[in-house]
Amino acid sequence: MRTRVLWLAALLAAGPAAALEPDVLFAKVSGSVWAIRTFDAQSRPLSAGSAVVIAPGRLVTNCHVLAKASSFVVRQENVAYGATLEYPDPQRDLCQVKVANFTAPPVALAPAGSARVGQRVYAIGNPRGLENTLSDGILSGLRGEEGERLLQTTAAIAPGSSGGGLFDSEGRLLGITTFAARDGGSLNFAVPVEWLAELPARAKTALEARAGGADGNGNGRGAPAAGRPGAPRLGEVFEYALIDGLTGVRTPVRYRVDRIEGENVYYNQGGRVEKADGQLVSATSPAGGLFDAAAPPGGWTRPAMTPGMRWRSEYTSASSGETVRYALDAAVIGTSRLTVDGEALSVQQIAYDGWMFALVGTGPAQALPFKATVSYAPDLGRVVRFEAEYRRVFLGMTRETLELVRVWR
């Protein structure tokens, strides 16, 4: 009994393992974080991301990194290996791949439930193709319900970091870095390491569902959210540029698909919710300037639009921080073609013309002329260009353009 007590006392006195210095931690785990490059059927490059070795010959990444790829490789510096998909879990955006004759060591996994807000964390990945980049921060939040929580961190990530590792101060894998919300400086997210144990079973379910005509998100095969091939898929990021018409300043705006439930598509942790055809459900965190702040109920488009179609929208919005009433007449004025990310798209154009009634200083609300032109691409189910302007008394004209520049899959 005395021996047991002394052993327990020694264990308690030892406390948790000491935190590693960042350079030591990097040296310990960086050899297990690899870059992924994907290719189409003609061997042309498609996308880039990151992957973490979790078992001998096995790496895990985000499924959106592998989307639409005919082949892919994992690489570090001048060493590359062909890889194949083993376990896909598109609903959680986790995919396990296998590599033959691969000797990179697996990382240690943090114990389930060990993530705690405020702890020091380190992200290692390949942002914008810069292999094995280290960033640090804290675990700033646990978001979502028990069992489906995402890890929020201030450790910086960027496109290409997807599938990289989020490590604790002992070099143990806490999660797989997945996305940064909008263009928020420190709103970065990872999926928890606990999900890796569930990958094989969930992949089997997803593959069986796909064989039976579903896509693993609970939707019909080839119809991600509502029977339309171009509908949003989990993990996709629609990157826009918000352009100030007076200064020409361009601000990136990103809408990332985080969740799909039935007909509803959730972007940016629920900050924007749409139907699969782009119809707006809610926009509680407006990121796209007037496109979000002045949006009518249901958004700027209507189902089954045809040239000459007209409607009137009268509504009140408080998304911009002030209460504004709108009275706008809309008309589908025709079709045209726009090139987005190298792809020519057919778009429907809708013209809005009317008034916005906003408070100016402490005086009564004044009627300010408001105009907008909307370009909607049915194949994407999205507005790909939005131009709006209005004139405030004494403050001059405000002009904004929001245009889609890239789709990250």
Does a structural domain hold residue 2?
A: no
Q: What pairs with residue 376 in β-bridges?
A: 348, 383
Residue 231 resides in a domain: no
Residue tagged active-site, from 64, 89, 258, 292: 64
362 confidence band (pLDDT: 50, 70, 90): low
Q: Identify whether residues 283 and 202 lie together within a single domain.
A: no
CB 143 within 8 A of CB 189: yes
Q: Which residue has the higher pLDDT, 213 or 302?
A: 302
What distances in angstroms separate CA 23 from CA 29, 83, 135, 232, 318, one per listed residue? Answer: 10, 29, 11, 40, 48
Tokens for 113, please give them. Answer: 């439930």
Cβ–Cβ < 8 Å for 89, 63: yes
Residue at which a domain ends, from 163, 178, 212: 212
**Residue 249's pLDDT band (boundaries 50, 70, 90)?**
confident
Q: Exactly one of 89, 93, 258, 292 is catalytic; name it.
A: 93
Has residue 321 got a pLDDT over 70? no
Give a yes or no: residue 242 inside a domain.
yes
Is residue 197's pLDDT more than 90? Answer: yes
Active-site residue, 64 included: yes
Report which of residues 303 and 408 the model is more confident about.
303
Instruction: Look at residue 52 and tell me whether its pLDDT is greater than 70.
Output: yes
Q: For residues 253 and 183, what is the distance between their CA atoms, to the nearest angstrom? A: 6
Per-residue pLDDT, averaged over 115-141, amounts to 94
Rounded to the nearest 5°, which phi and psi values hold at 210? -65, -40
Question: Is 162 one of the annotated active-site residues of the chain?
Answer: yes
| 268 burial level (CB within 10 Å; 0-12, 13-18, 19+) | buried
Q: Using alpha carbons, list the distances in angstroms from residue 242 to 133, 158, 250, 252, 254.
A: 29, 19, 5, 6, 10
Q: How much of the chain, in percent, has pLDDT values that exceed 90?
A: 43
pLDDT (mean) for 95-121: 94
201 and 250 housed in the same domain: no
Sign of CA dihedral 61, 65, 66, 71: negative
pLDDT band at 119 (very low <50, low <70, confident <90, very high): very high
Which 8-state DSSP code applies to residue 268?
Answer: G
Residue 22 pLDDT exceeds 60: yes
| E strands, 126-223, in order | 133-143, 150-153, 165-168, 173-180, 188-192
Last residue of one domain, picked from the residues 212, 247, 281: 212
Residue of 47, 50, 161, 162 marked catalytic = 162
Q: CA-to-CA distance for 348 and 369, rounded, in angstroms?
A: 24
- Which pLDDT score, from 0 to 100, does residue 140 have? 92
Segment 90-104 mean pLDDT: 91
More confident residue, 356 or 6: 356
Q: What is the CATH number of the domain that holds 48?
A: 2.40.10.120
Let me know if residue 5 belongs to a domain: no
Tokens of 83: 């890889």
How many angstroms separate the CA atoms of 119 and 153, rounded?
A: 10
Distance CA 252, CA 270 (A): 19
Q: Are 6 and 31 in contact (CB under 8 A)?
A: no
In a domain, 221, yes or no: no
At 146, the pLDDT band (50, 70, 90 cuts) reads low
Are both 203 and 242 inside the same structural domain?
Answer: no
Residue 258 is among the residues annotated as catalytic for this protein = no
Are 250 and 171 contained in the same domain? no
Q: Are residues 269 and 148 in the same domain?
A: no
Residue 218 inside a domain? The answer is: no
Which of 20-29, 310-319, 377-386, 398-407 shows the highest mean pLDDT? Answer: 20-29
DSSP-derived secondary structure for 98-147:
E-TT--PPPPPBPPTT---TT-EEEEEE-GGG-SSEEEEEEEEEEESSTT
What CATH number corresponds to the domain at position 271? 2.40.360
Question: Does residue 167 share a domain with residue 30?
Answer: yes
Least confident of 122-126, 193-197, 209-213, 253-257: 209-213
- 172 is written with which tokens? 């143990």
Is residue 174 domain-shared with residue 287, that is, in the same domain? no
> What are the φ and ψ backbone dihedral angles of 146, each rounded to 5 degrees?
-55, 130
Q: Above pLDDT 70, what percent of the chain?
A: 84
In a domain, 9, yes or no: no
The region of weakest confidence among 183-192, 198-207, 211-220, 309-318 is 211-220
What mean pLDDT is predicted for residues 175-185? 73
pLDDT tens column, 221-233? 333 333 344 567 7
Same-domain pairing of 68 and 207: yes
For residue 206, the surrounding DSSP H or E stretch is: helix 199-211
Is residue 75 domain-shared with residue 40, that is, in the same domain? Answer: yes
Residue 318 to residue 222: CA distance in whole angstroms: 38
Q: State the CB neighbour count (10 A cutoff) for residue 4.
A: 8
pLDDT bin (cut points 50, 70, 90) of residue 139 is very high
Question: Tokens at residue 232, please?
Answer: 């949003």
Query: Which pLDDT score, from 0 to 100, does residue 210 have?
Result: 58
Predicted local confidence at residue 154, as pLDDT: 94
| Residue 137 reports pLDDT greater than 50 | yes
100: in domain: yes
Is pLDDT larger for residue 291 or for residue 144? 291
Q: Is the pLDDT of residue 4 over 80?
A: no
* Average pLDDT over all residues of the chain: 83
Same domain assignment for residues 262 and 190: no
Q: Residues 169, 256: one domain?
A: no
The last residue of one of the domains, among 159, 177, 212, is: 212
Contact partners, residue 347, CB within 8 Å, separation at least 6: 335, 336, 337, 338, 375, 376, 377, 384, 385
Q: What is the count of structural domains for the chain?
A: 2
The answer to whether residues 120 and 203 belong to one domain is yes
Q: What is the extent of the structural domain holding 27? A: 16-212
The pLDDT assigned to 118 comes to 94
